[in-house]
Amino acid sequence: MRILVCIKQVLDSESPIVLDERAHWIEEHTRCTWIMNRYDEFALEEALLIGERHADVHIDALTVGPPRAAAVVKKALEKGAHDAIHLRVDDPSLSAAQTAALIAGYIADTSYDLILTGVMSEDLMQAQVGPTLAALRGVPCAASVVSQSCDIDTGTIRARIELDGGSHEVVDLPMPCVLTIQSGINQPRYPSLSNVLRAKKVEPRTAICDMATVAARRDRVESIDFPERLKNVIMIDGTPGEKAAVLLSLLNEKGVLR
């Protein structure tokens, strides 16, 4: 059985956000910290659990992004993935349609029984890469999966899907198929020492992507901006200690603390 896990590198929510000159995307600076999309961590863990339950399971971790994104599939190797693939692009602001098209094009000649993604990315939160990839591959898709059971003998997967309002739906899908994994389905593991040492010896397979092939698949970003500051909101800047001192002073001034 061959599993592909699609992983995105995202900006840590604790990193300060600075917009670029055109206000089209964020400015990458030395204080930016890049991490594995947390929803994709659950997808990777689910693949690893399938590998532990069944024999002869091979797991590939794939990411699309600029050179820095290679680090995120190296982290997947440390967690237990067998191979890493980096589809290199210079534009970090790809749309979901472009990302899915690049992945679909790269794996067109590869037979994967199962493709897993996180339910969404932490930055765009569009939840579109998995379903779009399934459509481009012509395979069934189950989105927002909260549990699954894989039957290799029959080539089927039973997935429990989270619906709006807290309801659930159970579906049976033939493989190959795509599942987008919801958070909380499992507990992502920490890298083991043996896998960390192995990952040091394994270099991701890198493919330079030609953006001309997906140029038509683009959502045009007019501009991005921070939420409007309302008049009754006070933004406190400074170190944590300085912020705490200002906050304490304001609370005393407003009579909240007595």
**Looking at residue 128, which CATH number applies to its domain?**
3.40.50.620
Residue 219, in any domain of the structure: no
132 and 242 housed in the same domain = no
129 and 93 housed in the same domain = yes
160 and 255 housed in the same domain = no
Largest CA distance in the chain: 70
86 and 162 housed in the same domain = yes
181 and 152 housed in the same domain = yes
Burial state string for 224-239 with b = 16 or more CB within 10 A and e = fewer than 16: eeeeeeeeeeeeeeee
130 and 243 housed in the same domain = no
- Cβ(7)–Cβ(85) below 8 Å: no
Instruction: For the chain, give the number of residues.
Output: 258
- Cβ(102)–Cβ(63) below 8 Å: no
Contacts of 27 (CB under 8 A, 6+ apart): 18, 19, 20, 21
Residue 36, in any domain of the structure: yes
Residue 220, in any domain of the structure: no
- pLDDT tens series, the chain, 258 aa: 999 999 999 999 888 888 877 667 777 777 888 999 999 999 999 999 999 999 999 999 999 999 999 999 999 999 999 999 999 998 887 889 999 999 999 999 999 999 999 999 998 899 999 999 999 999 999 999 999 999 999 999 999 999 988 899 999 999 999 999 999 999 999 999 999 999 999 999 999 988 777 776 667 677 788 877 666 778 888 899 999 999 998 888 877 776
Residue 210, in any domain of the structure: yes
**What is the count of structural domains for the chain?**
2
250 and 178 housed in the same domain = no
233 and 205 housed in the same domain = no
Burial state string for 13-27 with b = 16 or more CB within 10 A and e = fewer than 16: eebeeeeeeeeeebe
Q: Which domain holds residue 236?
A: 227-258
At 86 the three-state DSSP class reads strand
Question: In this structure, how many other beta carbons lie within 10 angstroms of the beta carbon of residue 140?
Answer: 17
Residue 222, in any domain of the structure: no
Q: How far is CA 212 from the centre of its chain?
A: 24
* pTM for the whole structure: 0.84
Predicted confidence at residue 138, as pLDDT, reads 96
Rounded distance between C-alpha atoms, residue 188 and residue 139, angstroms: 27
**Residue 185: closest CA among 150, 146, 148, 149:** 146
195 and 150 housed in the same domain = yes
25 and 127 housed in the same domain = yes
Residue 221, in any domain of the structure: no
Predicted confidence at residue 26, as pLDDT, reads 78
Instruction: Say which amino acid occupies 239.
Output: T
Contacts of 115 (CB under 8 A, 6+ apart): 3, 4, 5, 6, 130, 133, 134, 137, 139, 176, 177, 178, 179
At 5 the three-state DSSP class reads strand
Token couple for 11: 């900006």
At 73 the three-state DSSP class reads helix
Whether omega before 176 lies within 30 degrees of 0, making that bond cis, reads yes
149 and 96 housed in the same domain = yes
199 and 248 housed in the same domain = no
